[in-house]
Chain A
Amino acid sequence: MNNELLNILNSTVANATPLVIAAIGETLNERAGVVNLSLDGSLALAAMTGFVVGVTTGSAGLGFLAAAIVGALVALLIVVADIQLKQDQIAVGFVLTLLLADIAQFLGQEYAGMPSNPLSPVRIPGVADIPIIGPIFFNHSVIVYFSYVLIIVTWLMMFHSRPGLAQRAVGERPATAFARGTRVNRQRLFYTVLGGLLIGIAGASYSLAIKPGWSNPPAMRGDGWIALAIVIFGGWHPFRVALGAYLFALLRALSSAIQRSPDIQIPLVLLNMLPWLLMIGTLILVSSGVIDRLLRVMPRPAQRWSRNFLRSDPPAALGTRFDPD
């Protein structure tokens, strides 16, 4: 395998990381029945906060911490507005999308273009020397390794633990969850805030690790929407969500490689349109029922293993409110 390809794949994994973390965070709260639509704004505000704190204190760790707190507070606002104040999650989330991006831009204006040091890559001894796999997956900054662990832990929690049963039940049928002793609204609060925390970390991973720096308007605008679409594409399953994020980043990497290459003449505008066309195309694919049909024709043992992975129905109680009285 030649070096250029390895480089492309390596940067794909890096560039996918904020999307992976943000989309897994969103998966956590949507599985519990809450939509956090504010991603595009949350990511911007968290990225700005992370960068400013990171630069002024000189500690990337503090930057990530501050960003995580911002993400969690935003999520808390959405879930309190939903549960306590009975306001539409979509409406509040949308307003926050715009508001937070503007706050980020306003407060970050003096930090735009300021230089900073990116997190340095850490080679994991042993696995980093495996040909192909090593250079692609194990020569990255800490945040990338965090995302690997996150994917696996989320999957284990969601499908192989009792807390995961409660989480999914809350998103599917809150009345049942209540009858089984799960405190529905407390679970929703917990997973939404946890999801927000991750979204905050995802935001900071742009400005502190993947694309270090801050610019006005923020460079990651639009990625929040992509992450939300990836959650749908991923069928609310951590593996499939991560796969979606990697595919998306791969496509971006390929298109910028094609742009640089003198041999291939594809109109630039078409390449730029590709991610969005892909987003709409995959949503059509998911809602067309092709995957459900695939699931039905598979042999039973295979169905058993892949049912959760291939399912594409949203959590049945997504976006609804539960009143225990």
Chain B
Amino acid sequence: MRSHRLISATFIVLPVVVAVLFTSLLVMLVGNEPGEVFQTVWMGAFRNSNALAAVVNFWRPLVMVSMGLVITFTAGLWNIGVEGQMMMGAVFASWAARSLALPHPIQISAEIAAAALGGALWAGLAGVLKTRLGVNEIFGGVGLNALANLLAIYLISGPWQPPEGGSAHSTTPFPANSLLQPASTEFPVSMVALGLAFASIIGVTLALRGTRWGLQLKATGKSSASARLMGVPTTRSVISAMMVCGMLAGLAGSYRVLFTYESLRPLVSGGIGFLGLLVVLLAGIRALWTPFIAFAFAAIMAGSTRLRVSLQLDASLAGVLQGALVLLVLLSNGLRGRVVEWSDRRAAKQAASVSETASPGARHE
């Protein structure tokens, strides 16, 4: 048993070290100093409360998307369409922000509701494509992502274009009444949105642990055919899992337009949806670890935005570090399995040579 714990500890540290070494290597390849780069990223994330707020502003949509993806992974779904669901949430929220003019709390509530609806509908579409029309959710998702982005581009460059020609890069900024308000100038984070994020963490965790719906999702994810024969409404499970995830992704998307950009832009999701998939893979679909891993990833993402300014380096380095980390964790999980298997087999061989009086049973023939 002690050797198992030692093996586990080794295989947690190992991938992190290798990922950092690998990223350093790439940095050196383009002629930079790894130490300087990591310091820049660290400072970019944590140098003061403003920087920390930027981390939180990445974390907030990332953690909501990730919690949604914990649900779809539990139901056995690869919701690659999460990016498009974020964009649809952003589009719906932008519509509400542009065309409604209600008292601030009601206005915000309406925008949030619209975002949730947009994300849920887009995800539901992927769910229906999968369950009714047999389109694998990975390909359906990729297609729907592209369509959502093209729709946003169309709106930006067409109907929602600023009056004086404007640019194809964004719509006119939304009125102040439509925007989420920062808590303070030292710590510009929307408390309303932060509240929603914490609610989603708690809500998803409880729903998966304590509700029949959560159990049904798990059953569907493990074996859809068996679950159906046990009376689980599997089609409904798949579509509802998609829609709840889409709802959270939509909310995440709305944050990008109602707070981060204050307008609608192309690729407004900024890759946060895909990053969410990495977060959940790294967490091994465990709801509890997800927020912490999301925070680490948000810090890397926010910190690396300074790379271009300080060192003229492409910010894709953040993706390299994150991707390498997840890949190496997957690989080292496999390696650990092999090592444990090997040490168990050795133990079993020793045990077998001790006891020769085993009785035959019915399992193996």
Contact = CB atoms under 8 A, between A and B. Distances in A.
A98 interface: yes
A248 to B, nearest CB: 13
B173 interface: no
A143 to B, nearest CB: 26
A98 B327 CA distance: 10
B133 A284 contact: yes
A232 B326 CA distance: 28
A95 B133 CA distance: 27
Contacts of A84: 334, 338
Given A222-B146, A287-B133, A96 B327 contact: yes
Contacts of A88: 330
A158 B154 CA distance: 44
B105 interface: no
Interface stretch (B112-120, B226-234, B313-321, B350-358): B313-321
Given A86-B337, A90-B78, A99-B323, A110 B30 contact: yes
Contacts of A95: 278, 281, 323, 326-327, 330
B224 to A, nearest CB: 15
Contact of B151 (A269, A283, A287): A269
Given A99-B324, A228-B139, A284-B133, A273 B150 contact: yes
B153 interface: yes
B147 A102 contact: no
B199 interface: no
Contacts of B270: none
A285 to B, nearest CB: 10
B253 to A, nearest CB: 19
A267 B281 contact: no
Given A95-B326, A269-B153, A107 B335 contact: no
Contacts of B147: 273, 276-277
A279 interface: yes
Contacts of A86: 334, 337-338
Contacts of B296: none
A84 B339 CA distance: 12
Contacts of A222: 146
Interface of B is mostly: helix
B326 A225 contact: no
A99 B154 contact: no
A267 B157 CA distance: 12
Given A87-B331, A98-B319, A106 B314 contact: yes
A128 interface: no
A288 interface: yes
A272 interface: yes
B338 A269 contact: no
Contacts of A232: 136, 139
A224 B111 CA distance: 35
A312 to B, nearest CB: 10
Given A95-B278, A273-B147, A279-B139, A102 B320 contact: yes
Contacts of A98: 274, 278, 319, 323
A101 B322 CA distance: 12
A110 B31 CA distance: 11
A231 B195 CA distance: 45
Contacts of A103: 26, 316, 320
The 10 closest A-B pairs by CB, nearest first: A85-B334, A99-B323, A287-B134, A102-B319, A269-B154, A105-B316, A102-B316, A225-B142, A109-B314, A276-B143
13 contacts: A81-B334, A85-B335, A87-B334, A95-B326, A95-B327, A103-B316, A106-B320, A272-B150, A276-B146, A277-B147, A280-B135, A283-B134, A288-B133
